[in-house]
Amino acid sequence: MGNLVKMDLYKLKKFKMFFVFAGIILAATIILPILGKVFSDILLNLVKTTGDVQAAAEAQMVANAYQIAYPLSGIFRSPMGGLSILWVLVFVSASSFSYLDLANGYVKNIAGQVPSHGYLAVSKMIVIAIHNLIFMVVGLIGSLIGYGVTQGLTADEALGEGILEFFLKFLLASGLTALLLLFTTGFGKKTLGIIAGVILGLGTLSLLYLPLNFALSKLFNADINISAYAPDQMLLATNINVWAALAEGVGLTVIFLFLTIRFVNRRDVQ
């Protein structure tokens, strides 16, 4: 298993998409707060020329927000700077990487050298988790630079909670990419994995959760919000439910990895 993980890590080092997307995430998280400050200053200057007192006061409030040191907890809670499109890059990269062995004919080159073909899926999941963590750390570094340059940083009282949420989002990302691994490595469908990655990254399943929330609330005569506990929605939200995120992150990873191993072994036997 150790040699398989080393081999997959080597492949990750040679995976160009990984480095390109990491560069995009770093640049985006640095630029976002800088652009926010620039646009707020431009807006304030434009509004002042109109003579609209109320609009000027509102624009001044926005500009004043950039004069206050940004809390570190907020950066840890949103490792991608609050941009869902950056999670799409993470998931597309994970899907493409997990399909590499199938694209290159891993059955002939690798599978015959391991006791069980399921080891290939386990190794791939370990490296994909590392892949996810690197992306999240890159986003974290970018945000630290961006907000540090524009308004400074402060270690607020909620920093510990922010770090915990960062860890929970890592687990959620692992659970969701385990689903993508099932699609790409288990089913052998790269396109399906990429499409699922885009849907999960953008949080578009919220369009499905809304009618379900309404229907279940009417059925049970209670206020039910599935979105608050859905893994893809918690990944994009802040102040998430700790126990739900922990259970779903670990549970989804184990379940989808188990299914991937089953499908890989069954397909290879055939």
Q: Domain span at residue 125? A: 2-269
Residue 125 neighbours by CB distance under 10 Å: 22
Classify 230 as helix, strand or coil. Answer: coil
Q: Please state the domain count of the chain.
A: 1
pLDDT digits (tens, 9 = 90+) for 217-248: 877 777 888 888 899 999 999 889 999 999 99
Element (H, E) at 98: helix 84-98
pLDDT at position 3, please? 80
pLDDT band for position 269 (cuts 50, 70, 90): very low
Q: Looking at per-residue confidence, does 45 or 90 come out higher? A: 90
CB 56 within 8 A of CB 64: no
